[in-house]
A = this chain, B = another copy of it.
Amino acid sequence: MRQRKEAPMNKFWSETVKRTKPYVPGEQLNDPNIIKLNTNENPYGPSPQVSEAIHSEMKRTLHLYPAPDADELCNEISRYYHVSKDTIFIGNGSDEILAFSFMAFFEPHNQICFPAITYSFYPVYAKLFNIPYDEIALNRDFTIPAEDFFGAEGGVVIANPNSPTGLYLDVAVIEDIVMNNPENVVIIDEAYIDFAPDSAVSLVTKYPNLLVVRTMSKSRSLAGLRVGFAIGDPGLIEGLKRIKDSFNSYTVDRLAIAGSSAAIRDEDYFQETIQKIINTRERLIPEMKKRGFHVLPSQANFIFVSHYKISAESLYQRLKQQGILVRHFDKPDIEHYLRITVGSDEQMKHFLEVLDNVILHIKESAVKN
């Protein structure tokens, strides 16, 4: 895994820099022969309409600043989700929106909470903005104990489906958490929701304290374009806009606005590719079980698996040697697991072949030693 070398402290660094513990993203190797199953990208390219839209935008106005509030995309999201424009915030990827949200809704003197096993950027934001946090232990089956999030001190962040587990919380349970935090903002990070049954967006008009954060990187296949959005009460959205307009007026560029708007317009392509990935996931899970893996019931575009005999670390290393990248988190409680992105059928067929060889090889070595 990519490790950031400890830099010597520099006398010009602020206290803020000193307390950071930067997020380490999954490896991005430029070798096109590598099969990347480590950062939950979409194996299918974006809709062909995306490149058409980008091409036509590019010809006109690259020398002019974009619309600061990304109006075109805002209009498409408003139409698609049947929500008014003042409930929508656009950002340079959902990570930027999460960062702005920590600034906008959480305080250095109020402890927030999120699951102990979840997207590992949440504690990174908390350290950056000096916000105390409580990591709520998951149940033994990795499900989220909803009641433990009731009546939080300073706010709640939950990824649904959760990562890296892939487990999904029913919207009714999300609603319980939101209802039981009337004085706090509850952020539901729905990066993977398009692969799951249902979104919490329907609750937004009912609860002034709910912010739903989405990304175009996964289901819309635009990780390379950096676009995310949030839907919430106009009061929350205004708070996010005040932070953004104090930080960077134009966070989303013209090509990203044009491309992501086109992606939302092409509903057929979206539904078709989502369904393909779900079908591949459902075929992959029994194949993994056959090979001796415990597989969590994923509702995302990845699976979280643990082999009953072979260590995750050695599987990760051997797969990498064979040109397949999966994600291994070197962290207690999940060190025995691998997170594997659901690619195309062809990629998963190749993956299973390589996996079979790797398992065979490891077993043979074990017999020899």
Contact = CB atoms under 8 A, between A and B. Distances in A.
A92 interface: yes
Interface string A1-37: 0001001101111111100111111001010000010
Contacts of A250: 25, 93, 95, 223, 226
A166 to B, nearest CB: 19
A110 to B, nearest CB: 9
A251 B251 CA distance: 9
A195 B223 CA distance: 36
Given A12-B239, A13-B105, A92-B251, A62 B50 contact: yes
Given A14-B107, A209-B12, A259-B62, A92 B248 contact: yes
Interface core residue of A13, A25, A36, A103 (most chain B CB under 10 Å): A13
A253 interface: yes
A92 B95 contact: no
Interface in A116-134: 121, 124-125, 127-128
Contacts of A365: none
Interface of A: 4, 7-8, 10-17, 20-25, 28, 30, 36, 39, 41-46, 50-51, 54-55, 58-59, 61-68, 92-93, 95-96, 99, 103-107, 121, 124-125, 127-128, 183-185, 208-209, 217, 221-226, 235-236, 238-239, 241-243, 245-256, 259
